[in-house]
Amino acid sequence: MLTNLFDGVALGMLLFVLAVGLSVTLGLMNFINLAHGAFAMAGGYVAVVLMRHYGVPFFLCLPIAFLTTAIAGAILERTLYVRLYDKSHLEQVMFTIGLTFMAMATADYFMGASPQIVDAPPSLAGNVSIGDLEFSRYKIFVIVFCAVLAFGLQTALTKTRFGSRLRAAVDDQRVAQGLGIDVTKIFAMTFALGSGLAGLAGALGSPIISLDPIFPLKYMIYFMIVVSVGGVTTITGPFLASLLLGVADVAGKYYVPTVGGFIIYTLMVAVLIFRPQGLFGRPVKR
């Protein structure tokens, strides 16, 4: 019971870092980016290649994965995504599905279709026993790391100048622009940051969730659940939604394995029917 809760929280924390960038970019530009998972996968593969072929220590891989995907995100945003902000949602969906497919085939080409198995670094291997319960050290690390990150993001969003500009732009893009806030620049930076965080989480998650070329599609639905259930106006919303999803997913698979993903999909549809703006979101006026 407790162990399941613990596993669920670890997965939820990871999902939060994976999806938070998507939530902010969606709230900011009303842009539906189904290719977000591709950045997470890229981060994961960067870490795998560095560790396996160049012997880079795990803890150094994390920042490298973050930087690589953040830069990739920034480049793609400036060259391609920027052309799509004023297009219809259909075109955004088509475009980002296209990018996802390309990323998946590329990953398959270079890395092969089989899942990559990464061992947790030696210092974090094994379990910690508390009483007669065993907790994986690595998952404890993931929870603490992501909690610190979430706290940091929340602080940055509420206390820094960039954060308040970002919030202003999310609340009302036109008024924010009128007040002299460079929304395009803020968006580019947020996009890069969000992609970087996804890449970081991809690397961080590689020892606990399997990394293979279908990762972007497999986790797309999870990201979208986090974003649509959590709402796009805060980051506490996606945070709570991620935890809920992580716990529900692990518990569902453990207690009622025959129903599988059924529970979370049904929950998501139910939430969206009763609160289309998400459980924790405010209705956005546009």
Residue 42 is inside which H or E element, if any? helix 36-54
Q: How far is the CB of 90 from other proteins (least distance, A)?
A: 5
Given the complex with other proteins, which of 97 and 189 has the nearer CB atom? 97
**Per-position DSSP letters for 122-186, written without gaps between them:** GGG-SEEEETTEEEEHHHHHHHHHHHHHHHHHHHHHHHSHHHHHHHHHHH-HHHHHHTT--HHHH
Return the number of the residue (52 or 87) whose C-beta is nearest other proteins. Answer: 87
* Residue 138 or 215 with smaller CB distance to other proteins: 215
Measuring CA to CA, how many Å separate 279 from each of 53, 83, 231, 270?
A: 44, 32, 7, 11
Q: How far is the CB of 84 from other proteins (least distance, A)?
A: 7
How far apart are CB 172 and other proteins at their closest, in Å? 17
What residues make contact with other proteins under the rule CB under 8 A? 26, 32, 80, 83-84, 87, 89-91, 93-95, 97-106, 108-109, 217, 221, 224-225, 227-228, 258-262, 265-266, 268-269, 272-273, 276-277
* Nearest residue (CB) to other proteins, 103 versus 192: 103
Query: With 0-12 CB in 10 A as exposed, 13-18 as middle and 19+ as buried, what is 266?
Result: exposed
The answer to whether 10 and 139 are in contact (CB under 8 A) is yes
Which lies closer to other proteins via its Cβ, residue 207 or residue 230?
230
Of 23 and 195, CB closest to other proteins: 23
Q: Smallest gap, in angstroms, from Cβ of residue 253 to other proteins?
A: 12
Smallest distance from other proteins to CB 277, Å: 8
Q: Whole-number minimum distance, CB 146 to other proteins, in Å? A: 24
Structure tokens, 34: 């189904």
What's the Cα-to-Cα distance from 60 to each of 90, 109, 175, rounded to whole Å? 39, 26, 41
